[in-house]
Amino acid sequence: MATGRIVDLWHRKDRTRTSRYGTGKRWQAVWTDNTGKETKRSFDYKDKAQAWLDSKTTDRTLNPHGLKADMLFMEFWDKWREQQTHQRASSLRMTDSADRKRILPTFEGKYLTEIKREDIQAAINGWVG
């Protein structure tokens, strides 16, 4: 299965500096295709690395649960909601209430590929503002 990850080239997992600290591009996006071949690309900003990885997932499976990029947001949400069996009933009621008021109307009728990072951030800013 195709996957992607972002590596901080300036810091290790324990947050200590690497020998590359302050030199060159900090963020490396690593894309592994279905055959296991890795493609790496470095970026100055983490958001740019994430955007590049996001572009690689277009028209591919988005996760191991079989959700596809050409799926409507409402279909995705229904599948996600069905998987929330670990939640308490009271938590699900709160989630469902928020979903009906904010999330579902915002993305209704949109395909997953149409929803960009900026759209999600704008929606969140609108909900809290």
Is 66 among the domain residues? Answer: no
Nearest residue to 51 via CA among 6, 2, 3, 110: 6
Is it the case that residue 122 has pLDDT exceeding 60?
yes
Is 61 among the domain residues? Answer: no
Is 62 among the domain residues? Answer: no
What value does the mean pLDDT of the chain take?
Answer: 83
Could you read off the pLDDT of 15-41 as tens digits, one per residue?
999 999 999 999 999 988 877 788 899
Domain that holds residue 22: 3-56
Total domains present in the chain = 2
Q: Are residues 48 and 78 in the same domain?
A: no
Q: Are residues 51 and 79 in the same domain?
A: no
3-state percent breakdown (helix, strand, coil) of the chain, nearest 5: 45, 20, 40
Q: Are residues 83 and 38 in the same domain?
A: no
- Please give the pLDDT value at position 1: 61
Q: Are residues 47 and 77 in the same domain?
A: no
Is it the case that residue 68 has pLDDT exceeding 70?
no
Is 116 among the domain residues? Answer: yes
- Please give the pLDDT value at position 66: 58
pTM for the predicted model, two decimal places: 0.45
- The dihedral of CA 88, 119, 125, 129: what is its sign? negative
Is 64 among the domain residues? Answer: no
